[in-house]
Amino acid sequence: LTIAHMKKSKFSYIENECGVRINGCYESIVPVLPTPELATLLHISAKDPIIRMQTQAIDEHHQPIDYSILYTNMFEFQVKYYLPRQTASGLPASKTGQ
């Protein structure tokens, strides 16, 4: 794994060059108060909350293949989701005409 791989996608490297199939990723996102060192790195006050993201990717055999702890400025953090609506039949609404 090189810096060039990390600038693109480490997961692409894991799957395409290492032949490991990624099954999914567990994520935990919580607000915390930063240590003085983290506050300095994020250019905020140590009294300002930050976001701590803990992730663990697993392979198709449910073995951990990646573990990360990331910190971000709470005032710059943004999450966007698209959640398709499911009908009673379990099909997406667009497939049933609803």
Per-residue model confidence as pLDDT tens digits over 25-69: 999 999 999 999 999 999 999 999 999 999 999 999 999 999 999
**Residue 85 resides in a domain:** no
Residues 6+ apart with CB under 8 A from 38: 50, 71
Domain that holds residue 41: 23-76
How many separate domains does the chain show? Answer: 1
**Residue 63 resides in a domain:** yes
CA 12 to chain centre: 15
Strand partners, 66: 57
Count of CB atoms situated within 10 Å of the CB of 50: 23
CA 66 to chain centre: 11
Query: Mean pLDDT throughout 77-81?
Result: 82
Q: Which phi and psi (to 5°) does residue 84 adopt?
A: -65, 140
Residue of higher predicted confidence among 74 and 72: 72
